[in-house]
Amino acid sequence: MAVRIIVPARVRTFDAHGEVRAGPDRLAGEEPLEIRLNGQQFTVTMRTPGDDFELVTGLLLSEAVITEVSHIVKMDYRSGVDQDGHRTYNVVDVRLAPAAPGPRADAQRQVFTSSSCGVCGTPSLDGVVKSSAYPVAHPRPLVTAARLVSLPDELREHQRVFSATGGVHAAALFPVGRDEPLVVREDVGRHNAVDKVIGWAVQRGLLPLHEAVLQVSARASFELVSKAAMAGIPVLSAVSAPSALAVTHGRERGVTVVGFNRKGRCNVYTHPERITGEGTEE
């Protein structure tokens, strides 16, 4: 799997005067992943191979198909084979438990989902906003400003694939009161990276994540706020800008939306009550 995460390539480098050099390079892997529910196609997404079961688990939670790990009876790659009968590891079939909420009748994704899109293919606007089994707790002091603005640099220290390729996003869960992240995941898709960290938490029975900050290396979009809300995550921090809809959604769902978190400063757009001044985290 490792060779599919970081793929070797040859590159020729040019500047204004012509070719500077030719040599090896490393690229982030990107391949399709088809997700099937009880044998039926649910969606296809582009992702960086690796941690696929976490990705699928997080996506199913975000789509309200499951609310806990017991709703997944089994996941396997057996359905994906090439013309020679070799397993491709690009199809994951999920067997859902009878108690699982399952997909809505009109909720199946009808189009190919790119690595930059988390809600593409949702058939209707009603299917975009979903009820969470883990509502975000009432705003209260949760994390100090000093701790909050330190998270992007701490995340960067764990971005091994980015260091090798410069071509992936990252997401991490930072628990309140602890120095190290619970989990860090990277992917060509920012929503995939978030699904992977949330899926990791679902598989370990850690939801709701009421005592964690979700730090991402990208912008704060509507879809990322929605994923945080579905997992009960109270704070979403991004190094780049939030969208207007992300801010509106964060205000409505009780998520503290933080943007432009870099170089020791950040903007807090919703529920600033969770951010405190100097002192220790509660």
- Phi then psi dihedrals of residue 253, to 5 deg: -95, 0
Q: Tell me how long the chain is.
A: 282
Sheet strands side by side (includes 40-47): 40-47, 31-37, 91-96, 72-76
* 117 classed as catalytic: yes
Q: Spot the catalytic one: 27, 69, 117, 164.
A: 117
**Distance between CA 108 and CA 48 in Å, rounded?**
22
Radius of gyration for the chain, computed over Cα atoms and rounded to the nearest angstrom: 19
**Distance between CA 159 and CA 186 in Å, rounded?**
7
**Distance between CA 134 and CA 140 in Å, rounded?**
17
| Tokens of residue 133, six digits | 């089994």
Q: Where are the alpha helices (DSSP H) in the chain?
A: 2-5, 52-62, 145-157, 160-165, 190-203, 222-230, 244-253
For 85, how many CA atoms within 13 A lie in the half-sphere containing its CB?
Answer: 0
| Tokens of residue 62, six digits | 């975000």
**Distance between CA 89 and CA 33 in Å, rounded?**
8
Q: How deeply is 95 buried, as exposed, middle or buried, from its count of CB atoms within 10 A (0-12, 13-18, 19+)?
A: middle
Distance of alpha carbon 156 from the chain centroid: 16
List the catalytic residues: 117
